[in-house]
Amino acid sequence: MTEQSATASVEVAADPSTAFRIFTEEIDLWWVRGPINFFDAARATAMQIEPGVGGRILEVYSPPDDVLELGKITDWEPGALLAYRSSVDDTATRIDFEAIGSGTRVTVVQSLIPGGDKAFYFWPNVVQWIPAWVDRRDGASRTPREVDRLAIALYYEDPAAAARWLHTVFGLDSWDKIPAEGTNPSWIELQVGTRAILLFKLTEKRTAQLDHGVWVYVDDLDAHFAHSQSEGAKILSEIHQHGYRCYEAEDPEGHHWTFAQARPTMP
C-alpha cells in the first residue's frame, strides 16, 4: 500500500523572506548533485524554479531548452508558502516558511492526491540539504558543487545506524544531515571531500562481494558497456535507467562494479 504522505521540517538561520528566496532562487546551489539525486542524472545540468503561480519546477538538461517538468506551482506567497502539483507522480507538495526566533522553520508536506497511486516521496531527504547551504552560503562559491567520478557503495542491514556510526567514530560527514535515531531515509549519502559514499540496504545474504561496490562515472556509457562485453566481462545487469543511467558488471574475483553515465557538468 502506498503511504498517503511524507513530512519533514528543518530550521535555517535566515528570516522567512530570505529562506523563501534561498529555497526558490538558489535551488541549484543547495541541491546536492549526488549520484542518485535526479530523475535523469546522466543529463542533468541544473535545478530551477520559475517564480509565481503557474511556474514550473524543472530539472534542466543540456541543451538548456531540454527540461523535465517536475511540477507546476499552485501557490506562491513569498516568505510564507510555496505549493505545487507534481508532474511526475500523483502527489501535491506544500512548503511552509514559519518564523521561529531569528530563523525560519521550513516544513515540507508531500501528499498523495485522492485517487492517486504513484508517489516518489523524495522531499523528506531533499529538504535536509538546505541548512548546510544556508550556513555556508555567505562565503561559498556560486558554482554548484559537483561530486567526483568515483563513488563507493556500502551495504548495511541498517544503513541509518551505520551512517551514525561512521559519522561518530570515523568522522565522515554529509552535505545534508546524518539520520537521527528512529529515522530511516530511503537513501543516504556521506562525503569525503567531493567523493560520495552511498549507503544502501543489504537485501541479500551477506558476502564479501555484496558488502561493498564501486561506482565509476564515464563519458560514454554505451561505448564502455560494449567494450566490457567484447572483453568478456560478466554483465550482471545491462544498461538501465533509474534516476542514473548505468550497468553492473563483476570482476574475475566476484566484486561488483557499477558504471554510470557522467553528467555534462561533471569535471
pLDDT in tens, 229-253: 988 889 999 999 988 899 998 877 6
Q: Which residue has the cell 523563501?
A: 20
Q: Say which residue, 95 or 136, is predicted with more confidence.
A: 95
Q: Does domain 5-139 have CATH number 3.90.220.20?
A: no
- The domain ranges of the chain are 5-139, 150-261
Are the folds of 5-139 and 150-261 the same? no
The predicted pLDDT at position 111 comes to 96
d(CA 242, CA 228): 21
Residue 143, pLDDT above cutoff 80: yes
pLDDT band at residue 55 using 50, 70 and 90 as cut-offs: very high
Q: Show Cβ contacts of residue 77 under 8 Å, excluding neighbours closer than 6 positions.
A: none
Highest mean pLDDT among 80-89, 125-134, 177-186: 80-89
Q: With the CA atoms of 66, 116, 123 and 216 taken in that order, what torsion angle do they form, in degrees rounded to the nearest 10?
A: -60
Going by their DSSP bridges, the two strands 195-201 and 150-156 should be labelled as parallel
Per-residue pLDDT of 152-190, as tens digits, reads 888 888 889 888 888 887 778 887 678 888 888 777 888
Q: Which pLDDT does position 210 carry in this prediction?
A: 64
Average pLDDT value over all residues in the chain: 89
| Residue 12 bridge partners (DSSP) | 104
The pTM (predicted TM-score) of the whole model is: 0.78
> Rounded CA gap, 261 and 27, in Å?
23
pLDDT value for 40: 93
Sheet architecture: strand order including 234-242: 188-192, 195-201, 150-156, 212-218, 256-261, 244-250, 234-242
| Model pLDDT for residues 200-239, shown as the tens digit of each residue | 888 877 666 667 778 888 899 999 999 999 888 899 999 9
CATH class of domain segment(s) 150-261: alpha beta
